[in-house]
Chain A
Amino acid sequence: MKKTIITVLGKDRVGIIAAICNYLADNNVNILDLNQSIVDGYFNMIMIVDATQASVPFGELSDGIAQLGEQLGMQIKMQQDDIFEAMHRI
C-alpha cells in the first residue's frame, strides 16, 4: 500500500490533533500510525496515513493541509513515503 507521511511542527496549543484528524476524516484519509511529542513547548508529530482512497487528488489534499497549518500557526507537510524509502533503503 502506498503510504503518506504527514509531519507537523510548531508551538503547542489546544486542538492541533483534533483539527488535523477532522480534516483527514473529512477527506476520507485513514490514519495508520501516529507519534507525537512536546519539547520545550514545541509540538512535533509524525503521522503515517493511507491517502489512496482520499476524496480529492493528492495535490489538493496537500495544499489543504498546508493551509490548515497556517490557520493553526503550525508547519504541516504531507509527502508520499517513496522519498524516504528511496533515500534510506537500498
Chain B
Amino acid sequence: MINYYEINETNKMIEHDNLDVRTITLGISLLDCIDGDLAVINQKIYDKITRVAKDLVPVGCELEKEFGIPIVNKRISVTPIALVGGAACREPADFVTIAKTLDAAAKEIGVNFVGGYSAIVSKGMTAADEMLIRSIPQAMAETDMVCSSINVGSTKTGLNMDAIRLIGDIVKEAAYLTREHDSIGCAKFVAICNAPDDNPFMAGAFHGVSEADAVINVGVSGPGVVKSAIEQIRGESFEVLCETIKRTAFKVTRVGQLVAREASQRLGIPFGIVDLSLAPTPAIGDSVSDILEGMGLERTGAPGTTAALALLNDQVKKGGVMASSYVGGLSGAFIPVSEDAGMIRAAECGALTIEKLEAMTCVCSVGLDMIAIPGDTPATTIAGIIADEAAIGMVNQKTTAVRVIPVYGKSIGDSINYGGLLGHAPVIPVSQYGCSEFVSRGGRIPAPIHSFKN
C-alpha cells in the first residue's frame, strides 16, 4: 500500500521540481510508401502518418490526466527520407515537397515536431542522400515542424568528410534562409555520429530501418528533481551524492516506463525503449547546469565540470537501467546551451566556452547543442567543429552531435531568442584560426583500430 509520504513526494516532484515525461515519440516506418511517382509518395506518406498516429495526441492527453503528470511533447519520427524519396526525387526541390507533406501531417495530428528528414551517410552518399542534404536549407525554411538530421560517421565506418564539408555550407545556407528569425532553420538540424535508430528526442529523431513498422519510444526528463535531491545533501561525500542521483533517476525512469507501457497498450503499438536522458528546459530550476553547480561548482564551465558531468551521466544510467527493461536512444545528460537557464548564465558570464563544451561532450550525450556562434563563421570552420565532435563519438563509441547556429548578421555580444523550449542564448566566440585545407581534402577518415572486433 502506498503511503502518504510517497504520494506527497511524487506530487512535489511534479509540481515544484518540473518532473515531466518529456516526449512520447511514435516511430513510423515509411518504407511501404516508396513509389516512383512523387505525387503518389507524398499522398502515401500523408495517409500513413495521419492513420497510424491519429490517436497519439488524445492518448497522450488522457495519460496526462490519469497520472497527473505533464507529457510535454507528442512527436513523430519517420524512416530517413533519403531512403523513402530516393526513387521519386530528381532534384532537391522534390525532397522539399516531402518535407511539406511531413509538416502538413504533423499539423493535422497535432504533434509539435516530426523527425526523420534525414540521411545516413556515415560512409558514403548516394545521389538521393546528397539531394536531400542540399534540400535541407529550403526544407527547414519552408516548414515549421520538420526536423532534420544527417549521420555523418560511426565507429564502424569512420567519418564521411565529404558530407561533413558539404554540411558546413548547408548550415550557413539554412542560417541565411531563416535570417528573419535568428536563423532558426539551424535549430531544427543536427549532424550526428553514431546516431541511434530509436532516439525519441529532436532534432535527431528518426525511425531506423532496424525498427518495426511502428513503435513507441519515451523520453523522460527531470533535471529539477535531481537538483532538488542533491540540494538536500550539500557537503556529503561522493558516495552519498552518487546514491542520491541513482535513487532519483530510478524514480524518474519508472514513471517513463509506466507511461510508455500504457501508451503502447492504448495505441496498440509495440513499446520500443525508454530514453534516460536528463533533458533541461529554459524554465527556472529545470537545468542540468544547476545540478552541476549544486554539486559544488561556482559556475558550469569551471575546472571540475567535466568530472561532475561524467559522474552525473553515469549515475543517471545506473539508476535508470533497473527501472526499465528496454533502455535506448541517447540516454545521457543533455547540455544544450539555449535550452538551459544555467548554461545560458554560464555562457553569458564567460565561464562556459565552446572548447569546454566540447570536452564535456566526451562524457555525456549528446554534443555541441543549440550554440549560437557569429554569423560570419566560415562554412569550413563549422565543418571542422562537426568533424571534431564526430571524431569524439567515433573514437569513444558513443553518439555525438552538432547543432550550432551561425546567426546571420549577429556577432559576439548579440543574442538570439526563440522562446518556448528552444530558449535564448548569447552568441559565443569560436576559434579565429581556419581549417579549410584540412576539411576540404575529400574522402573519409577511416574507422579507428578498436572498431575491428571480429
Contacts and interface: CB of A to CB of B under 8 A. Distances in A.
A87 B324 CA distance: 12
A77 B65 CA distance: 9
A82 interface: yes
B2 interface: yes
A13 to B, nearest CB: 22
Contact of A86 (B9, B68, B257): B257
A5 B2 CA distance: 10
A15 interface: no
B2 A85 contact: yes
A79 B67 contact: yes
Nearest to B4: A46
Interface in A3-37: 5, 7, 35
A58 B66 contact: yes
A66 to B, nearest CB: 10
Interface in B1-58: 2, 4, 6-11
A41 interface: no
The interface residues of chain B, by DSSP majority, are classed as: helix
Contact of B66 (A7, A35, A79, A86): A79
A57 B284 CA distance: 35
B444 interface: no
Contacts of A79: 66-68
Nearest to A66: B65
A62 interface: yes
Contacts of A59: 62, 65-66
B254 A84 contact: no
Interface string B56-73: 000000100111110000
Interface in A55-90: 58-59, 62-63, 77-89
B65 A83 contact: no
Given A35-B4, A87-B251, A88-B2, A82 B258 contact: yes
A89 B4 CA distance: 14
A7 B11 CA distance: 9
Interface of A: 5, 7, 35, 46, 58-59, 62-63, 77-89
